[in-house]
Amino acid sequence: MQENKYLKYFNVLPLFNTRRTRDIFQVNPTVAPIRQEAAETKICVFDYSPQVLHEKCLDHIEETYPFHKNDRVTWINIDGIRKNDVDAICNHFNIHPLIKEDIMSIGQRPKMDEMDPILYCLLNMLYFNDKTGAVETEQVSIVLGDGFVISFQEDSERDVFNFIREKLRVTGSKLRQNKADYLCYSLLDMIVDHYYIVMEKLGENIELLEEKIIRASNTRALAEINNLRKELIVLKRNVSPVRDLINGFIRSDSELLEERTTKYFKDIHDHILQANELAENYRDMMMNLQDLYLSNVNLKTNEVMKVMAVVTCLLAPATVIGGIFGMNFDRIPYLHNQYGFFIAIFLMLIIPVFMIYLFRKRGWF
């Protein structure tokens, strides 16, 4: 007989997702991870000046070479990372080998590096999966050079840069009027602003979970608390280091950054500080929810014990009376009385009724 013959008919949802825990804490910086080559890549180029815009989607990385040092601002966005493509474009645009390693890395902490003549930053875009309730990450690398910005993304299906693309298509927009450092600021600003959308989703889930705990503090509610705490760990891990990343741009003396653009990075710094505070508030709320769950469980246990104690007290007179009249003695009062049985039953009923009245009067239940 096959053991798993009938198991397929039982769709048991695991309450405690231990696999998610392993995914969160499996990062080991001492072991060089192996990145899988992207099945397909998508290369899009925005080459612009205040008067001219060239928007192209390319098939080969070599087609980006003519956009280097062409007296216009060029944004090259590469969706899907392949080692040969990264090596080729980094060699042509004079990007340091250490930056190439960071682009190819997996699970890096958000950071900012300055290697003349290049500014490089790495951070994660966050998405909220409504089906699984999980916070998903996508590593993004942004390279700022003289007149160009190159962004590397892992996922070719989604990003948060469509608003920037629309702005670039508008003649006379602020993006078109400024240099590459302002484009870099805009990309970082969009990523940070999208953090708030993810946090809003988590906040809604926390509110719904609070209502569930108040209505019913069961094992599933405890599992949801643990799952939400894991997602907050992912959020905090990716949001908190971005503060140092933005500080790197603010303190940088690179010629690639104009003084007026540095002021815009201070605005991102304010946003990321607020996001950090909000993440801390969510963590405190989750601790409060756990305390609320434990309080409700203890309260429910106390209510059960109270009911059992009251029932025991109410049955005690009947037990005593039945025990007395059930003793094997020759002479017991009312033993041979024709109303003895009815008197005993009456006492067994009237005494608990009096006890209920007394308990209610004293507010015991």
- Token pair for 228: 């939400």
Q: pLDDT at position 279, please?
A: 92
Buried b (16+ CB within 10 A) or exposed e, 276-297: bebbeebeebbeebeebbeebe
Could you tell me which residues come within 8 angstroms of residue 113 by beta carbon, excluding any fewer than 6 positions away?
Answer: 98, 99, 102, 119, 120, 121, 248
Please tell me the CATH code under which domain 307-362 is placed: 1.20.58
**133-153: average pLDDT:** 93
Q: What is the pLDDT of residues 290-337, one digit of tens each?
A: 888 888 888 888 888 888 888 888 889 888 888 888 887 777 777 777
Superfamily classification of domain 13-296: CorA soluble domain-like (3.30.460.20)
Break the chain into its structural domains and give their ranges: 13-296, 307-362
The answer to whether the beta carbons of residues 98 and 115 sit under 8 Å apart is yes
Helix (H, G, I), strand (E, B) or coil at 24: helix
pLDDT score for 7 = 39
Over residues 233-249, the pLDDT tens digits come to 999 999 999 999 999 99
The answer to whether 119 and 112 are in contact (CB under 8 A) is yes
Cis amide bond preceding 29, omega within 30: no
